[in-house]
Amino acid sequence: MNKGLTTALPGICAVLAVSSLAAGCGRGSGSAAGQTRLVLAEVARGDVVATVAASGTIEPDELVDVGSQVSGKITAVGLDENGAEIDYCSRVTNGMVLARIDDVTYLADLEVAKAQHSNAEAAVAAAAASLAKAKVDAAHAARDFARAKAVGVGLALSQSDYDASQAAAESAEAQVGVAEAALKQAEAQVVQTRASVEKAERNLGYCTIASPVDGIVIDRRVNLGQTVVSSMSASSLFLVAKDLKTMRIWASVNEADVGAVKAGQGVAFTVDAFPGRTFRGTVRRVRLNATLSSNVVTYTVEIDVDNSDLTLLPYLTASVEFETETARNALVVPSRAMRWSPGGQAAAPGGDESQKAVWVAADPGAPPERVPVRVILDDGTRAAVEAADGRSIAEGMRVVVREETVLESGGAKPEAGGGSNNPFLSKMPKPPRGGPPR
């Protein structure tokens, strides 16, 4: 985990300042050439924050992609509240016209649909009249057949006439069923043509591109006279940000560090557009859909950012530091003070990594005294500590940072044995014995 340190109190800054002032403090009473002297730093109070570093992109919190569902040529671009043509950074309101597409073809489609609907309604009326006539004919045939049955087959009514009367009655009844089916078909046709009219009206309405929200235009992707082609998906014409006062950072966090990132954590970030300024945010959530690139797994973390002053701009690159651990108002010492010991001996004996020790010098002439401490939080540069083993450490005490030798020129060089024994510091190679090689 990449860790850093954030100082919130002025007292922390005094550590380096005192370290510089104390550089002249010697182990003995003088500082003649060849003598060694201790470099001291004051114990101060402050905040130590362990962080996880990442980078991300600042995005508007709510971004609406306004597109077109129909194809055609752009015949006009809308006007904003000031009467200017809508362009980048134009403020728009819900329902404001952004652009218009040529609607001649869609007007013709609407007229055709309306005509077909009228024709279908007329067909319904004709089918209803046919049904009424079929019912009258069926009633007339039924009466004729009833009289034939009353007379019966004999001298007054032949068998063929009786059969013809019966067939006419049954045929008329069947015609009623045919007329009823034709009426239902005509009514279904009316429903279909009505839907075609509504579809044509909707497509005609799509020729007017309106803003669905109140916001500001981030991107304009269409010009007057340009032909818009809508296929499987709606073409994008404008990007409208609903509110730039709330922004969101999409940060990419390595899988090794994402376990330390939790919702609600504080975040500090910087952007190159405003050097020297630190902004604040809060972790919203960690997305579960990981991304694999070159065998490296990363997770997207969403960070909420307050942009009430509208300083931050969309799509800026942010250098993010997630505050994973914090020690507030703690005693702070340089980390290298816990790695120094007289003669380069082990500074932290024992197996407990939280148990360390610093060497305190009461005054420049006094020998340093070992004071055990317990490390609360250490980032490798500075550490928040507290007293251990009944010993006390307080603000204002001076701890030994390193040991150096005074040179004849007045300068000084660190002692190899009494300086920092940090194994990660690079060491100069020693020349071979007997002088330099030929």
**96 and 226 fall within a common domain:** yes
**184 and 127 fall within a common domain:** yes
Q: What is the pLDDT of residue 411?
A: 59
- Which of 218, 241, 264 is at the close of a domain? 241
Look at residue 129 and tell me if it is in a domain: yes
State how many domains the chain has.
Answer: 3
**109 and 198 fall within a common domain:** yes
Look at residue 111 and tell me if it is in a domain: yes
What average pLDDT does range 155-174 have in this prediction?
88
Look at residue 30 and tell me if it is in a domain: yes
Between CA 328 and CA 255 the distance in angstroms is: 28
**365 and 338 fall within a common domain:** yes
**181 and 115 fall within a common domain:** yes
Sequence-ordered list of residues with C-beta below 8 angstroms from that of 351, at least 6 positions apart, any chain: none
**160 and 175 fall within a common domain:** yes
Phi, psi torsion values for 169, nearest 5 degrees: -65, -45
Q: How far is CA 97 from CA 65, 94, 358, in A?
A: 15, 9, 71
- Residues in the chain, overall count: 438
Task: Mark 169-201 as b/e (b = at least 16 C-beta within 10 Å).
Answer: beebbebbeebbebbeebbebbeebbebbeebe
Position with higher pLDDT, 230 vs 13: 230
Tens digits of per-residue pLDDT, 109-130?
999 999 999 999 999 999 999 9
Q: By residue range, what is the domain housing residue 78?
A: 63-102+207-241
Sequence-ordered list of residues with C-beta below 8 angstroms from that of 4, at least 6 positions apart, any chain: 49, 50, 51, 53, 321, 379
Q: What are the residues facing 404 on neighbouring strands?
A: 37, 414
* Amino acid identity for residue 27 in this structure: R
Determine what percent of the chain is predicted with pLDDT higher than 90. Answer: 55
**82 and 121 fall within a common domain:** no
Helix 159-206, helix 104-151: angle, nearest 10: 160
266-271/235-241 β-pairing: unpaired
Look at residue 263 and tell me if it is in a domain: no
235-241/227-228 β-pairing: unpaired
Least confident among 104-108, 202-206, 400-404: 400-404
* Amino acid identity for residue 77 in this structure: V
Contact 289, 300 (CB under 8 A): yes
Task: Quickly count: other Cβ atoms within 10 Å of residue 103's Cβ.
Answer: 19
**119 and 175 fall within a common domain:** yes
Q: How far is CA 323 from CA 47, 265, 294, in A?
A: 12, 7, 28
Look at residue 143 and tell me if it is in a domain: yes
**96 and 172 fall within a common domain:** no
Look at residue 288 and tell me if it is in a domain: no
Least confident among 28-37, 119-128, 205-214, 372-381: 28-37
Sequence-ordered list of residues with C-beta below 8 angstroms from that of 239, at least 6 positions apart, any chain: 63, 64, 65, 66, 217, 218, 219, 221
What CATH number does the domain containing 98 carry? 2.40.50.100
Residue corresponding to tokens 């002297």: 37
pLDDT at position 5 over 80: no
Q: What is the pLDDT of residue 32?
A: 57
| 3-class SS string, the chain | CCCCCCCCCHHHHHHHHHHHHHHHCCCCCCCCCCCEEEEEEECEEEEEEEEEEEEEEEEECCEEEEEECCCEEEEEECECCCCCECCCCCEECCCCEEEEECCHHHHHHHHHHHHHHHHHHHHHHHHHHHHHHHHHHHHHHHHHHHHHHHHCCCCCCCHHHHHHHHHHHHHHHHHHHHHHHHHHHHHHHHHHHHHHHHHHHHHHHHCEEECCCCEEEEEECCCCCCEECCCCCCEEEEEEECCCCEEEEEEEEECCCHHHCCCCCEEEEEECCCCCCCEEEEEEEECCCCEEECCEEEEEEEEEEECCCCCCCCCCEEEEEEEEEEEEEEEEEEHHHHCCCHHHCCCCCCCCCCEEEEEECCCCCCCCEEEEEEEEEECCCEEEEEECCCCCCCCCCEEEEEEEEECCCCCEEECCCCCCCCCCCCCCCCCCCCCCCC
Six-digit token pair at 359? 């060497």
Tens digits of per-residue pLDDT, 331-382?
999 999 888 888 765 444 444 555 788 999 876 566 888 889 999 998 878 8
Look at residue 259 and tell me if it is in a domain: no
Least confident among 19-23, 260-264, 324-328: 19-23
**190 and 227 fall within a common domain:** no
The mean predicted confidence, pLDDT, of the chain is 82
**111 and 197 fall within a common domain:** yes
Between CA 324 and CA 51 the distance in angstroms is: 5
What average pLDDT does range 285-313 have in this prediction?
94
**189 and 74 fall within a common domain:** no
Task: Quickly count: other Cβ atoms within 10 Å of residue 16's Cβ.
Answer: 14
Contact 284, 320 (CB under 8 A): no
- Which of 160, 182, 206 is at the close of a domain? 206
Look at residue 4 and tell me if it is in a domain: no
Q: Report the predicted TM-score, pTM, of the whole model to 2 decimal places.
A: 0.62
Between CA 356 and CA 371 the distance in angstroms is: 9
